[in-house]
Amino acid sequence: MVNMLEIRKLTIRERSTGKVIIPDSSFDVKKGSCLAIVGESGSGKSLTCRAIMRLNKPGIEQAGDIWLGGENLAKLPEQEMRRRRGRRLCMIMQHGMRAFDPSRAVGVHLIETLAEHFDWSKSEMTGRMKRALESVRLNAPMDVMNAYPHQLSGGMLQRVMIALTLVLEPDVVIADEPTTALDTVSQYEVVEQFIRLRERLGSTMIFISHDLGVVRKIADEVLVMKDGRIVEHGTTGAVFTKAQHDYTRSLVTAKLSLHQHFRQVMGE
């Protein structure tokens, strides 16, 4: 299979102190597959993903190559990079509540984003957005678009982000702990939508999580990070059954009991 995304020698450090947070990490994501990055908070999962989007804060600098298709994102001028964001690389944030401009209706952001990437008419954008929102089971799409973020729940906003991704049809979707902040029922709905998103777009996905239950359900491959380093990388089955690294084994056993509970909830 062809690699969609190739990360080579990605190094991330703090600008002020020069402290290296992620030393020299390299990995690939195959086209159409889903890679889960797991690890404790502070292990560098989010930093890695933001580095792929080139969206880390100014106080953090990165080096290394990020190949998307045949193109090195790390070498693109900012203006070009901006065009890739949203159109080819989409991000789904952890806190739906905080991801939208609090003083504007949710739809404003959606339409602005679409207008940025496509030459569609206003009615076409609204129409497509409406269908996408309906497809993620938001049954009153116009009400959702006219609502302010605080009027919707975290799970609903998460699905709004998924809907936007559906319309944008990117090559790569990066989801940064999208289920962590949700209650169990919303978690179930969101995970279900993620699976459908993959089915429908066939897009490559990076799914950050520390919930191994969700990871097992959605991911093809798993990458384990600890203190900024990649300690394990393999297919989901391999990582869960015969982990090479002690750290992974401890993670898997620790989560096993929780996982059983998750399976019950998911009705497997």
Partner 1 sequence: MGLYMVKRILQSIPLLLAVSFFTFAFIQLSPMDPAEVVLHAQGVPKITDELIAETKTALGMDQPFLVRYSNWLASCLQFDFGSSYITGKPVWSQLGPALFNTIKLTVVSVAAIIAVSIGFGVYCAWRAGKMIDRSLRGLFFFLTSMPSYWLGTLMIWYFSVKLDLLPTSGMDSYRSYILPVALITVSYAGIYFRIIRSSVLSNMNEDYAMYGRACGLPEKKVRARIVRNSLQVAVSVFCMAVPIILGSTVVVENIFAWPGLGTLSVNAILGRDFPVIQAYVLVLAAAFVLFNTASDILNAALNPKLRNDRS
Binding site for partner 1 (CB under 8 A): 50, 53, 55, 57, 82-87, 89-91, 93-95, 98-104, 109, 112-113, 116-117, 148, 150-151, 161, 164
Q: Which two tokens stand for residue 215?
A: 């990871």
We find the least distance from the C-beta atom of residue 115 to partner 1, in angstroms, to be 10
Which one, 171 or 221, has the nearer CB to partner 1?
Answer: 171
- The residue (of 102 and 267) whose beta carbon lies closer to partner 1 is 102
- Shortest separation between residue 90's beta carbon and partner 1, angstroms: 7
Q: Considering beta carbons, is residue 19 or 57 the nearer one to partner 1? A: 57
Question: DSSP letters of 104-137?
Answer: S-HHHHHHHHHHHH----HHHHHHHHHHHHHHTT
Taking Cα atoms as reference points, which of 257, 232, 235 lies closest to residue 244?
Answer: 232
To partner 1, the closest distance from the beta carbon of 151 in angstroms equals: 7
Minimum CB distance to partner 1 smaller for 167 or for 231: 167
CA–CA gap between residue 58 and residue 145 (Å, rounded)? 32
Query: Position of tokens 């298709």?
Result: 69
Closer residue to partner 1 in complex, CB, 19/150: 150
Query: Residue by residue, what is the 3-state secondary structure of 233-247?
Result: EEEHHHHHHCCCCHH
**Min separation Cβ 167 and partner 1, Å:** 11
Least gap, CB of 245 to partner 1 (angstroms): 31
Which residue is listed with tokens 């939508």?
193
Bridge partners (DSSP) listed for residue 8? 65
